[in-house]
Amino acid sequence: MEPRSGCAINAAVEALGDHWSFLVLRDMVFGDRRYFRELLNGSIEGIASNILSDRLKKLVAAGILTKEDVLRGQRARYSLTEAGIQTVPILFALGNWGLDWRTGTPELRTRQELMRAEGTPFIEELMDELRVRHLGAAPVGREGPGPLERLEAAYRAAVGGEAA
């Protein structure tokens, strides 16, 4: 699909879609939800199945996600492409704006607060971890827990030990 104009912001908005697309990406990036049912049942905003199906199709068509080929009756797994992984800084910027200009619950703000405190190196490390999980890249050597583990630990601490 050709964008309506040659404006880079317009082209990006058309590819990324609406707020549901960003929430699907959020759940894939930070919640490691890769299957339709995981995305549907794990959405705290309560996305409808028809909307989720539509957004997944659009994100695949835009080259932001891939959908695994499966036999009938099998669950298809979605993966981020490099273009999808490159949305992490956008999600980070949106989250920072939300911290500054919108209210929220402390437990749901905690991951963003951790990312803000850790800064760009954390975002780059997170993107490297996503490349390993979604693109099959070679693991990057590191000491200690990875960024997704640190985000999960921060969330668990905020909710008193419950899993995300």
Residue type, 125: E
Polymer length of the chain: 164
Torsion of CA 135, 138, 144, 150, to 10 degrees: -10
Q: How confident is the model at residue 5 (pLDDT cuts 50, 70, 90)?
A: confident
Q: What sign has the CA pseudo-torsion 124, 116, 29, 149?
A: positive
Cα–Cα distances (Å) from 37 to 23, 47, 100, in that order, read 15, 11, 32
For the chain, domain boundaries: 8-81, 87-159
What integer pLDDT is reported at residue 6 of this predicted model? 84
**DSSP 8-class letter at 63:** T
**pLDDT at residue 164 greater than cutoff 70:** no
Cα–Cα distances (Å) from 123 to 47, 103, 155, in that order, read 27, 23, 17
Residue type, 131: R
Q: How confident is the model at residue 17 (pLDDT cuts 50, 70, 90)?
A: confident
pTM of the model: 0.91
CATH architecture of 8-81: Orthogonal Bundle (1.10)
**pLDDT at residue 110 greater than cutoff 90:** yes
**pLDDT at residue 4 greater than cutoff 80:** no
What integer pLDDT is reported at residue 74 of this predicted model? 87
Average pLDDT over residues 99-114: 94
pLDDT cut 70: percent of the chain above it: 96
